[in-house]
Amino acid sequence: MRTPLIAAALLFLTPFPHARAQSAPAPAQAPSGNATLTVAAASDLQPVLPQILPAFERLSGIRVTVSFGSTTSLATQILNGAPFDLFLAADSAAPQRIAAANLADAAPLPYAFGTLVLWQPNAQAFCHPLTLDCLRSPALARLAVANPATAPYGRAAAQTIQSLGLTNQLAPHLVTAENIAQAAQFADSGNAQLALISLTLAHSPTLAARGSYILIPRDNYSPLIQSAIVLRNSSHRTAAHQFLDYLLSPAIQSQFHALGLEPAAH
């Protein structure tokens, strides 16, 4: 089953005119006297960026448009010439690929560390209390995960399942989404009983009200080192670096805990 990405975006976002959940970017256009940044952002940032972008736009006068998608899909678009100014990935490998292709204005910088959680919707909660043992339950028929080939949180989910010795048991029951936001939407809509998703999505107002979660122990998956890179072909490199500096500033990093991210250490 495939659900349009816009539906997944609406699940987490309050109305926010500068965030667009789509896989292809619109060309960056600079209004008179102001830059417009086009940002490619991993899907786990759908609830995060609307909380921090308005202040940046107000203080800088720079408008920001965002296209959300899976990290690998966005990286492929960039490698194929998509006109993004800044890439906010959910891992470090994708930005490193872009840097290796000589498409980066500077080396990738970690901006946060991600956390994987197991989320269960209240409407069809079948496992009480919610623990990792719920993944072993014979009653578990559908577990939503992001595609491990394109989404870092999907790879973390696959690593978790493998570390628990459940790869063969759960393989017939996986509902694979294009990205982590769509995996959450599958569970929230009743198309999966549980979902392995990002803490950022579990912290979103909608999912926080509709379900519960537990943290996946970090030794079950490789660190999710979420990294950013400014694109060399950007016509707004100075503005892109300005936004990245804002993202790494103590004022913004201190907000990350509440939004489901661990701040990066710089």
Domain boundaries, the chain: 5-113+224-263, 115-220
Give the model confidence (pLDDT) of 144-157 as tens digits: 999 999 999 999 99
- 115-220 and 5-113+224-263 share a CATH fold: yes
* 17 backbone φψ class: left, alpha, beta (φ>0; ψ -120 to 50): alpha
pLDDT, position 90: 98
**For 115-220, which CATH class?**
alpha beta
DSSP for residue 166: -
Per-residue pLDDT, 47 = 97
Taking the domain 5-113+224-263, which CATH number applies? 3.40.190.10
Residue 213 neighbours by CB under 8 Å, 6+ apart: 117, 118, 119, 120, 130, 197, 199, 202
Query: 7: which 2 tokens?
Result: 């539906």
Q: In Å, what is the CA distance from 112 to each residue of 50, 69, 202, 257? A: 16, 18, 17, 10
Q: 3-state DSSP helix/strand/coil percent for the chain, to nearest 5?
A: 40, 25, 35
Which positions of the chain have pLDDT values less than 70?
1-33, 265-266
> What pLDDT score does 179 carry?
96
pLDDT of residue 10: 41
